Amino acid sequence: MQRPGPRKGIHMRYNNPIIPGFYPDPSICKADGRYYMVCSSLQYFPGVPLFESRDLVNWTQIGHVLTRESQLPLKGAGSDGGIYAPTIRFHEGRFYMVTTNVSGMGNFYVWTDDIYGEWSEPVKVQQGGIDPSLYFEDGRAYFMSNGDDDQGISGVTQCEIDIETGEKKSPSRCVWQGTGGRYLESPHLYRINGQYYLMAAEGGTEYGHMVVYAKGPSVNGPFTSYPGNPVLTNRNLGGYVIQGCGHGDLVEDERGNFWMVHLAFRQIHQWMTFHITGREVCLVPVTFQENGWFTAGVGGITPTEVETDRIPDSVVQSRKLRDTFSDTRVGVDWVFLRRPHGEDFSFTETAYRLYPTNLALGEKQDSPAFVAIRQRQMRGQIRCNIQVSEGEAGISLYMDHQHHYDLAVARMAAAGGAGDVYRVMTRSVVGGVSHVVEETVVRADTEITLRIALEPMEYSFSAVFSQQGQETSCPLGRLQTRYLSTEVAGGFTGVMIALYAQEESLTGKGAEPAVFTDFEAAYEVE
């Protein structure tokens, strides 16, 4: 159902999304022949995932920008809280990342001279709104966000700041009010071929999302809207799996071509308007016309497959289709909910040990014993061996504290004082209502492998029990994916594959850890 791209002079093809899974609000810059990208992280710690690429289609996560609690206080942050919409810029040998912590700090930026090292403590900016951005010119630094200016006028708001202190050097003033679509956001300013381009998004980060822009003669405008706005959108296109295209950022490659990275999401089916993997990163070409206006995408849309002669045919897009303990890293691929409890975790390349706490997955203020990796594709298989000494532990397909599916193992005393047993169960939590779907009881000396089969519209849960060399497979129910979708749960995240441990009766330390081994999330791409 995707509209084909041009076929003349084709060098290569790549597929969208270029970074699958919950990585919304991408921003990009170029430095020393390489490209760097950041994305929103909302309630997860560390914050602001940081990626690197040499060719724009293959990306490696090299870390996070916000790695200390002093940079990232997240207490009480939900799936609609925490870090919104970062922007990364490179200026005079220094990287800057500006963002909003809507759960506490407001607008701030950090900087580093070493992209692989630590970033500074936050520098706060006294301008409201969200989705901030920086623009540098002639020794001046300009700060932009959406919201109201000092006169109460709503739109893209701009002021000059002291880049060393974050202090305002000019009043905040509205420089553009967009094209009339709701939720004007993600403003970015560029100077290209002597013209100034102000790009933003409208329509809300959902099915009406779109990229719009205007151009003007100076950093202050006045800005005239592009007559063909929106320049990029998949709205009103039935049958397209990719939807919600918006919140873009421009970059010029080494050959003088321009590109846009932007967010979008994939429906679970072309006719089923639910999405579970969150907002993801897509890439489309940008073409400037002789009159100074530019177009984006393929006929103004983002297709699943893009054919281009702008990237050499020696470049082959690779897709990571397998996550294990040995090829992923804690604090990079694996993240924590709100904040880490260092004393509750122990990680190696072969085993993760989680010490249970009395904080359950329904906790909405603090951080349970929980470590998670993003669900990257809609088809695949998850498996993990688990040993539980006390309490409950397992795998949670986690959207938020009120929407998650848990494949759990609980250690409990058998009836009649006959020793301990394992209760193995699938639990559905939707809208805060908890329901055990299927369960079984096995001896406590049983080796247990948990398994979850991933399909776009359904999760299937099972366990494999091993006793004295004999294996038994036990189905433990099926649940529809749509009840973990953004359309049902709300918020701005995607499904996370979480390992957790909990014991509600604990009042102090000393619990024995749950041990997770042989973890694998193996994916298929349609």
Cβ-Cβ contacts under 8 Å for 1 (sequence gap 6 or more): 239, 240, 241, 270
Q: Are 311 and 56 within 8 A, CB to CB? A: yes
Q: Which of 131, 149, 160, 185 is catalytic?
A: 185
- In angstroms, the CA 404 to CA 408 distance is 12
Closest CA to 115 of 65, 54, 55, 67: 65
Q: Would you report the helix, strand and coil content of the chain in percent, each value rounded to 5? A: 5, 50, 45
Q: Which of 25, 160, 323, 392 is catalytic?
A: 25
Cβ-Cβ contacts under 8 Å for 522 (sequence gap 6 or more): 321, 322, 380, 381, 382
The tally of CA atoms less than 13 A away on the side-chain side of residue 297 is 25
Q: Are 188 and 249 within 8 A, CB to CB? A: yes
Q: Is 404 exposed, middle or buried (0-12, 13-18, 19+ CB in 10 A)?
A: buried
- In angstroms, the CA 46 to CA 62 distance is 13
Q: Are 282 and 296 within 8 A, CB to CB? A: no
Alpha helices in 134-194 (DSSP H): none
Length of the chain: 526
Distances in Å between the Cα of 83 and the Cα atoms of 102, 131, 188, 202, 412 are: 7, 10, 18, 20, 39
Q: Is the dihedral of CA 401, 407, 409, 410 positive or negative?
A: positive
Per the annotation, the verdict on 253 as an active-site residue is: no
What angle (nearest 5°) sits at the alpha carbon of residue 3, between those of residues 15 and 309?
55
- In angstroms, the CA 74 to CA 65 distance is 15
- In angstroms, the CA 280 to CA 266 distance is 8
Q: Is 8 exposed, middle or buried (0-12, 13-18, 19+ CB in 10 A)?
A: exposed
The tally of CA atoms less than 13 A away on the side-chain side of residue 55 is 16
Per the annotation, the verdict on 185 as an active-site residue is: yes
- In angstroms, the CA 5 to CA 154 distance is 38
- How distant is the alpha carbon of residue 214 from its chain centre? 28
- In angstroms, the CA 453 to CA 288 distance is 45
Residues designated as active site: 25, 185
